[in-house]
A and B are shown apart, each in its own frame.
Chain A
């Protein structure tokens, strides 16, 4: 009965929304990354539809974060091509905002919350232009979008994990990009923060921007996202959540690691 209800909900969000488009905001071809001789990501193709919210899903160590980092040139790739709105990465850098995992930086760094958000404006400021009142206003506006305006002048070491994640998101908002790439934005955050973040991401999509998240929580995929890329070093499946996020594909992605009981809890339609 559950599955019937879900079937009825879905078609709106899935097929109808995505027109076939060669202007994908983010497409990768044959992307391969390897540390030594063990490939972390192997020949992955993907094309994210415009104005969508895409989840990159897969088990631990499946190369989800590596895929994102390699696509952005943060880690070197062995082969593969990345197109952002049909252009090579180097020409489209300004249209991208990236939110790294919060564990990737030292939070004892001497900087305040607002200074971190201002880093999102460095592209606009260039090397020498001074930070003016309007830049601070913009940074504060980005902070209020994530509910952190009261914390603007705190040292970043005083924040909780969820608050750190919000600050990172505010910095990306300040970049005013068209394509938002986030690495595990919901990892280890409290429920209020999770809601604050998903609200902002949905608002971004409503503003005709595109959002891609590395995501680890299978239970929220159908609720948050409309497009999914399942990978385990290689690509397993890609497509609208309604037709792709199925028990069969999950079993293929996770192998024996995902208990059947767990999949049943997700209440997915039968494959």
Chain B
């Protein structure tokens, strides 16, 4: 079993299996990178409606091809049918959202279930037809590599490559429209057309992935990679790239696994692989992972104690908290006999000055997020710009002059 899997992984399991794995990788790259823009535009759920509304098209295309005396299982024909019904599904969502008072999520739920239900009815009817070719249509639900023809694999590969090309070509306008559609429009970008291109991209990935991943789970391949990649990076390009890599890796490994054990459906395996990457990232990602959050919390605690200790030093109060003492001692701010070192005195003076600066900043930024971000530990220069700090210092001097004059 392991050997068979390794063979498939290393493209030794035969020409067809290799092409399928390669196609799945390309499809994963396209789904991950294209899905990122859908995710950033906050329209992820729309792809689920799109995927589910392909099913009636598959059924009707099969029936039409059989009625015309054809084989019924021609992949191109089935994909053409599913494209038409997916477009109808999208138009239905669009129409419900713009013409009724229903919100988009409601429209998505309605369209998704009605189209899917209709598709299942059609598949059941096909099962009772006496054409004998029906086997394989269930593969469109959960995906399968079993019985995939060479021509099918070529279609998947070409479709995946085209989708990746579209992402590369339109990455800038798609980023602009996802972040700031108003600015994009005012810069001469046709926002509607770009939204349309993103939907087209998602549609292409969905249709091409139907045979491999299946319509129920293709949405996972569009969403899990971007969400995972977002944990690793704060830059759009990196999120797109990482999501592509995660999708590609999941597609490749999933297809190889499924090829080595033909009874396993391909779609669920691919999704499970990408989900494993998600869980790993959720725990270990350096910026937004769970471990990183714990580490941040610990550092926060240390910084909080350092500040309390330094404030006490500046005001010549006694420090009783053991953890505070330990922190100050470890950082060389106090001597073992608790007297402040040179560095400790400087740091204490700085904390005291920042304290009054922050007090002023809180007054000036009352409606802003700044007060919330005052944890007493971030140096003020790293949160406010130079002219803002200068402004605060001027005001402090101003009010100090007044106060002193009154006092005497």
Which residues from chain A sit less than 8 Å from chain B, CB to CB? 69, 72-74, 93-94, 96-98, 100, 104-106, 109-112, 115-116, 119, 122-123, 125, 127-128, 147-148, 150-151, 155, 158, 160-163, 166, 171, 175, 181, 188, 190-193, 195-196
Contacts and interface: CB of A to CB of B under 8 A. Distances in A.
Given A110-B233, A122-B172, A161-B367, 11 more contacts: A74-B185, A100-B186, A104-B182, A109-B236, A110-B40, A110-B238, A122-B187, A123-B188, A150-B386, A175-B187, A193-B385
A119 B179 contact: yes
B235 A110 contact: yes
A150 B385 contact: yes
A93 B188 contact: yes
Contacts of B388: 162, 190, 192-193
A147 B386 contact: yes
Contacts of B384: 160
Q: Binding site of B, secondary structure by majority: helix, strand, loop or mixed?
A: helix
Nearest to B287: A155
B44 to A, nearest CB: 14
Given A160-B369, A192-B390, A111 B234 contact: yes
12 contacts: A74-B186, A93-B188, A100-B180, A106-B42, A110-B40, A110-B239, A119-B176, A119-B179, A127-B169, A150-B386, A171-B183, A193-B388
Nearest to A123: B187
Given A111-B235, A112-B235, A163-B385, A190 B182 contact: no
Interface in B369-386: 369-370, 373, 383-386
Q: Closest 5 interchain pairs by CB?
A: A98-B186, A192-B391, A93-B188, A192-B388, A155-B234
B178 interface: yes
A100 B183 contact: yes
Interface string B156-197: 000000000000011011011011101101111000000000
Chain A CB count within 10 A is highest, among B182, B367, B384, B387, for: B182
Contacts of B368: 160-162, 188, 190
A192 B387 contact: yes
Contacts of A93: 187-188
A160 B391 contact: no
A112 B234 contact: yes
B320 interface: no
Nearest to B238: A110
Contact of B179 (A105, A125, A191): A105
